Amino acid sequence: MAKTTAHGDNYINYEKGLWSWLTTVDHKRIGLMYFITVMFFFFIGGVMALLLRLELFAPNTAPNVGQILANGDVYNQVMTYHGAIMVFMVIVPGIPAILGNFFLPLHIGAKDVAFPKINLLSWYCFMAGAILAIATFFTTKIDTGWTFYTPYSIRTGTATALMVLAAFIMGMSSILTGLNFIVTVHKLRAPGMTMHRMPLFVWSLYATAILQMLATPVLGITLLLLAVERFLGIGIFDPKLGGDPVLFQHFFWFYSHPAVYIMVIPAMGIVSELITTFSKKVIFGYTAIAYSSLGIAAVSFFVWGHHMFVSGQSETTGIIFSFLTMLVGVPTAIKMFNWVATFYKGSVEFRTPMLYALGFMFLFAIGGVTGIMLATLPIDVHFHDTYFVVAHFHYVMVGGTLMSLMGGYYYWFPKMFGKMYSESTARMSFVFIFIGFNVTFFPQFILGAMGMPRRYFDYIPAYETLNKISTVGSWLIGIGFLFGLYTIVHGLLKGEKAPMNPWGSKTLEWQTPSPPPHDNFSVEPVVTAGPYEYR
Amino acid sequence: MSTDNHAHGAHTAHVAHHFKTADQQYSSGKEGIWLFMLTEILMFGAIFVGYFYYHNQYPEMFAEGAKSLDWKMGFVNTLVLIFSSFTMAISISFIQKNQQKKAVLALATTILCAAIFMVIKYFEYQHKFHLGLYPGKFLDAAKVGAEHANLGLYFGFYYTMTGLHGIHVMIGIGLITWCLLRTVRGDFHSQYWIPVEGVGLFWHIVDLIWIFLFPLLYLVG
Amino acid sequence: MMWFNIAKAQSFMPTQGTEIAKQVDNLYGFLLVTSFIACVLVIGGMIYFVWKYRRKTPNDKTAYISHNTALEFLWSFIPLVIFLGVFGWGWYIYHQMRAMPKNALEINVLGKQWAWEVEYKNGYKTVNEIVVPINQDVKILLTSSDVIHSFFVPSFRIKQDAVPGRYTALWFKADKLGDFHLFCTEYCGTSHSGMIGKLKVVSREDFDKYMEQGQEERNLPLGEKGKKLFAVKACASCHAVDSPATMVGPSLFQKFGHEETMDDGTKIMFDENYIRESILEPNKHIVKGFPKGVMPTFQGQLNENELGALVEYIKNLK
């Protein structure tokens, strides 16, 4: 380890130079590298989203503002890049790879994850996949939608094979991260840190890691088969050669439904942390929250068919999947009630992270109840592939995952960088994002109920007003994120020095200096109580 | 392979800084490898599901396809792989007993077997190409004759499954060579052998997958 | 009327064109009301608690309440019961949607990039327009010739994917007359959003007439078909066909093969292409003595076959 130069006292200045970052095996530095790359892709995906909303501001026949993009193909490409980037490069790696990498070892009192080199390898896999995905932009682009449904993806003239290979490689990165987390939780806990003393964020990462491990290989092989299908025409998904295009949907959703929970379970974990810290109160129903994460993870493997109620599967199949989907709703509801109960007789402080946690609960409640609607068979028949679905999953993915991710950033910002952010601009950013989000996506529920299908480049005049409102909302979100960017940059450059534990939290990562030293803890912590002992 | 005699010892050179004991490192490593193997099985599992799905839909096509494969070649390959699994296993027990030379010999034999497997596979492919039995839409209907013209999907599966398995064999050859070089260098000994055990486990899984592939593709009809 | 109809679920849902649509809307109304109550409870409870227990001093003492088994059981059990109730209700309606009626009128619909091809049992074919009789079970047999499409009539609350290489089906029994939108809801490429059709619900008599007309049209010689179209599209109200008399527009009698003088003085041969142009872009060239901008365009209202029929008919006006 020891090189010629002297080491700094924290992980950021421990070694210097770009090369020391690119070859680091320190989980904190890898988390930070993920942070930078994911934020970059979030920016690109966000610009794509603004473009889509701009195009949908008015029907194409309207003068001036009607048609912004050149034609339907361009719209489809922008739509595909928005979806693929946001799913594979932002929301899936977002919480586990950034905050999970950084805080999982700190949370359980470990020096690092179990396999630091594999952790670095997973970042390089992610980068390789991401670069490949971006490279498609400079070839024939992609226009399949992020779901790559066959036989469209077999037939289209765009660079689908390259894109699915990219997603395959990013999937490997996800598998390696999950594997690392499971072993770390099993083997590297500090003395006294029993499973039931782990913070709920760790529990959620653990449940997520199981999903990443078990579901991603199936996506991997599915995408690989699709690539082979395009190169060799093997016929597995091609009806012209006797194959079944619907089989692809089964395979795809066998991963991609659990993937939804890969995105949202860690978000629930962060919210649990935020709520207990800023209420200064023990979490209500620790065991229920911890095990409901595992419960959601387990059941989520058996609900994929609810994406296919109208794909031609049998009535019985639809009924079984609807039933199982209803069951997933229960552990999710339990978590919501537990969080509300935690506020009772607490001492609630409205710092920015807490605002995001409350925002999460507000939006996730709406996302949740509309999820139950979509799980109801005849309702889904009407709503399937309409803007109702678009609104629903944005409420869950953006309103849920992204809100909690932002809350997590602000919460741990002092720990990660050793600086405090400015509370006023951070709150401003929250207000814009929260209001903008509802203005953008709530009208889409109504549009969906009215029957507007998703992935539409143009629409009938009846849908115009609500689409206009929605587009205006997207600008508010954009402004909100600009405030957020300003807050981060300002905090990094001019922020006050952060104390060790600015929020008075009880979990382990706050019991070491900000930013943490290279080895996390100068003395290995010994744990004697649960994570939320506010007495 | 014996896995019960754990390595014990203080914080020595081969224990990474974030582990407290060799024991902890060993058990972490082992769990990691098993989990990784689980992902491999799930990945192949999905193709097997696809195989069964279409086998159920087109039983005649799969019976016809199985007949056009040479089960003898497949059988020889099965024996070769099982033997290589055995040599892989004994190499680990040699290392545990500090008999590095024997271990090197066993690893070299494993690589040789893997190479034999690939050579036989090459001749099989070559023969199929010669007959015009290409996958999917490339199937040469004129060459294979009308009664075999429907075999495209079957050979799609054949090439994908054996191809993916073949890639794993190649990766295995690379990994075993890496183990062999490090054994020659003296990195592995009775206190530290987890990488060899990991590669060994990988190799057993590759072997196991073939043991499923062989009857499904060559025999079941 | 059930109590939950106060949700006015229908106000955001499209017209209810079938009995099933009413049932779906009832369930949706129930879900809306219960969802609203649930959201009020959770979000309202949250807002009430965070405000009531907001931090007053930096050293507030908080209660140590780790769990409450009875409460936790209740809020797991009650949602479960509601969810299962909704599931059962959904099952009941879904079963009716999926159980294909016997003796239904069957119509084959083929999805292709980017249009719906409709074929009736008597062999009559149309594009992007389905005409069905009111109060009659109709079964749509779907398939696709290229990629997956999805057949969606919002007013009927029905949707089904059209998958290449197999048949899928759906049924409905329309109980309202009128024109309804037919959308494609499975992403299918460039003009996915333009793959819009019309579903017309007409009376029994009109449907029979439509079928007859279709049957006849199929067997008619091209010129006869053109004559019919000429009447249906109301061309005859402006153009004379049996004398050179001028009506709103110029007569078409014995014009074919002769030159016409335009309002800018140029001469144009009255041939097949001029007829075609005059139907599709009527204001491009105006015959001398007639005002511009009177005749509407028929662009998009006629297919190639119909255009050909009209040309054939006008050609032979002697």
Q: Which of A182, A234, A313 to mutate to test the interface with B (most CBs of B within 10 A)?
A: A234
The answer to whether B157 touches B50, Cβ cutoff 8 Å, is: yes
Q: Quick check: A187 and B138 CB within 8 A?
A: no
Q: Quick check: A372 and C31 CB within 8 A?
A: yes
Q: Quick check: A72 and C35 CB within 8 A?
A: no
Number of domains, chain B: 1
Q: Quick check: B46 and A519 CB within 8 A?
A: no
Q: Quick check: A384 and C185 CB within 8 A?
A: yes
- Does a structural domain hold residue B10? no
Find the residue in A nearest to C184 (Cα). A453
Structure tokens at C36: 């609203």
Average of per-residue pLDDT values in chain A: 92
Give chain B's contact residues with A (Cβ, < 8 Å). 16-19, 24, 27-28, 31-32, 35-36, 38-40, 42-47, 49-50, 53-54, 57-58, 61, 135-138, 150, 152-153, 155-157, 159-160, 164
Find all residues with CB under 8 Å of B60, minimum gap 6, and list them: none
Q: What pLDDT is recorded for position B9?
A: 42
- Does a structural domain hold residue B127? yes
- Minimal CA separation from C116 to chain A, in Å: 16
**Predicted confidence band of residue A358 (pLDDT cuts 50, 70, 90):** very high
Q: Quick check: C152 and A280 CB within 8 A?
A: no
pLDDT tens digits, residue range A364-411? Answer: 999 999 999 999 999 999 999 999 999 999 999 999 999 999 999 999
- Does a structural domain hold residue B65? yes
Q: What pLDDT is recorded for position C90?
A: 94
**Predicted confidence band of residue C61 (pLDDT cuts 50, 70, 90):** confident
Name the DSSP letter for residue C240: -
Contacts of B202 in chain A (CB under 8 A): none
For the cut 50, the answer to whether the pLDDT of residue A211 exceeds it is yes
Find the residue in B nearest to A180 (Cα). B32
Chains C and B touch (3+ CB pairs under 8 A): no
- Does a structural domain hold residue B16? no
Q: Quick check: B153 and A242 CB within 8 A?
A: yes
Q: Quick check: A381 and C189 CB within 8 A?
A: no
Q: Are strands C105-112 and C137-144 parallel, antiparallel or unpaired?
A: parallel
Mean pLDDT score, C139-161: 93
**Predicted confidence band of residue A125 (pLDDT cuts 50, 70, 90):** very high
For the cut 90, the answer to whether the pLDDT of residue A71 exceeds it is no
Q: Quick check: B159 and A519 CB within 8 A?
A: no
pTM for the whole structure: 0.86
State the CB neighbour count (10 A cutoff) for residue C148: 24
Centroid of chain to Cα A337: 23
pLDDT tens digits, residue range C38-52? Answer: 999 999 999 999 999
Q: Which long-range contacts (CB under 8 A, 24 or more apart) does B106-111 make?
A: B107/B176, B107/B179, B107/B180, B107/B183, B108/B180, B109/B84, B110/B84, B110/B176, B110/B203, B111/B173, B111/B176, B111/B177, B111/B180
Of A114, A228, A244, the CB nearest to B32: A114
Q: What pLDDT is recorded for position B8?
A: 41
Residue A267 φ/ψ, nearest 5 degrees? -65, -40
Q: Quick check: A460 and C158 CB within 8 A?
A: no
- Does a structural domain hold residue B4? no
- Does a structural domain hold residue B1? no
- Cα separation, C93 vs C29, in Å, equals 14
Per-residue DSSP letters for B9-71?
-SS-TTS-TT-SSHHHHHHHHHHHHHHHHHHHHHHHHHHHHHHHHHHHH-HHHHHHHHHTS-H
Q: What is the mean pLDDT of each run of 10 residues along chain B (221 residues)?
A: 39 77 90 92 91 88 84 90 94 91 93 94 88 79 74 87 93 94 90 90 93 88 60
Find the residue in A nearest to B158 (Cα). A234
Mean pLDDT score, C261-287: 86
- Minimal CA separation from B102 to chain A, in Å: 30
3-state secondary structure string across B110-168 = HHHHHHHHHHHHHHHHHHHHHHCCCCHHHCCHHHHCHHHCCCHHHHHHHHHHHHHHHHH
For the cut 70, the answer to whether the pLDDT of residue C34 exceeds it is yes
**Predicted confidence band of residue C8 (pLDDT cuts 50, 70, 90):** low
Q: What pLDDT is recorded for position B12?
A: 63
For the cut 70, the answer to whether the pLDDT of residue C318 exceeds it is yes
ipTM score: 0.90
Q: Quick check: A344 and C89 CB within 8 A?
A: no
The answer to whether A202 touches A265, Cβ cutoff 8 Å, is: no
For the cut 90, the answer to whether the pLDDT of residue A232 exceeds it is no
Q: What pLDDT is recorded for position C231?
A: 75
Q: Quick check: B153 and A217 CB within 8 A?
A: no
- Cα separation, B79 vs A281, in Å, equals 64
Chains C and A touch (3+ CB pairs under 8 A): yes
- Minimal CA separation from B207 to chain A, in Å: 19
Mean pLDDT score, A240-264: 90
For the cut 70, the answer to whether the pLDDT of residue C118 exceeds it is yes
pLDDT tens digits, residue range B94-132? Answer: 999 989 899 999 999 999 999 999 999 999 888 888 888
Q: What pLDDT is recorded for position C62?
A: 87
Instruction: Give the CATH number of the domain where residue B158 resides.
Output: 1.20.120.80
State the CB neighbour count (10 A cutoff) for residue C124: 18
Contacts of B24 in chain A (CB under 8 A): 187-188
3-state secondary structure string across A340-399 = HHHHCCCCECCCHHHHHHHHHHHHHHHHHHHHHHHHCHHHHHHHCCEHHHHHHHHHHHHH
Of B18, B39, B136, the CB nearest to A112: B18
Q: What pLDDT is recorded for position C293?
A: 67
For chain A, the structural domain boundaries read 31-511
For the cut 60, the answer to whether the pLDDT of residue C6 exceeds it is no
Mean pLDDT score, C19-24: 92
- Does a structural domain hold residue B14? no
Q: Which of A310, A438, A506 to mutate to test the interface with C (most CBs of C within 10 A)?
A: A310
- Cα separation, A344 vs C46, in Å, equals 9
Q: A295-299, A531-535, C224-228 — which is least confidently predicted?
A: C224-228
**Predicted confidence band of residue A3 (pLDDT cuts 50, 70, 90):** very low
Q: Which long-range contacts (CB under 8 A, 24 or more apart) does B16-21 make?
A: B16/A116, B17/A1, B17/A111, B17/A112, B17/A519, B18/A110, B18/A111, B18/A112, B18/A113, B18/A114, B18/A116, B18/A188, B19/A188
State the CB neighbour count (10 A cutoff) for residue B186: 8
For the cut 70, the answer to whether the pLDDT of residue C302 exceeds it is yes
Find all residues with CB under 8 Å of A218, minimum gap 6, and list them: A251, A254, A255, B42, B43, B45, B46
Q: What pLDDT is recorded for position A435?
A: 96
Mean pLDDT score, A454-458: 92
Find all residues with CB under 8 Å of C45, minimum gap 6, and list them: A340
Whole domain around residue B170: which residue ranges? 22-220
Instruction: Detail the DSSP E strand segments found in A200-350.
Output: none
Q: What pLDDT is recorded for position A67?
A: 82
What CATH architecture applies to the domain A31-511? Up-down Bundle (1.20)
The answer to whether C151 touches A381, Cβ cutoff 8 Å, is: no
Give chain A's contact residues with B (Cβ, < 8 Å). 1, 110-116, 118, 175, 179-180, 182-183, 186-188, 213-214, 216-218, 220-222, 224-225, 228-229, 232-236, 238, 240-244, 247, 251, 254, 519
- Cα separation, A527 vs A194, in Å, equals 9
Q: What pLDDT is recorded for position A356?
A: 96
Q: Quick check: B28 and A188 CB within 8 A?
A: yes
Mean pLDDT score, A316-333: 92
**Amino acid type, B8:** H
Find all residues with CB under 8 Å of C58, minimum gap 6, and list them: none
Mean pLDDT score, C65-93: 92
- Cα separation, C297 vs C309, in Å, equals 17
Find the residue in C nearest to A56 (Cα). C193
- Does a structural domain hold residue B5? no
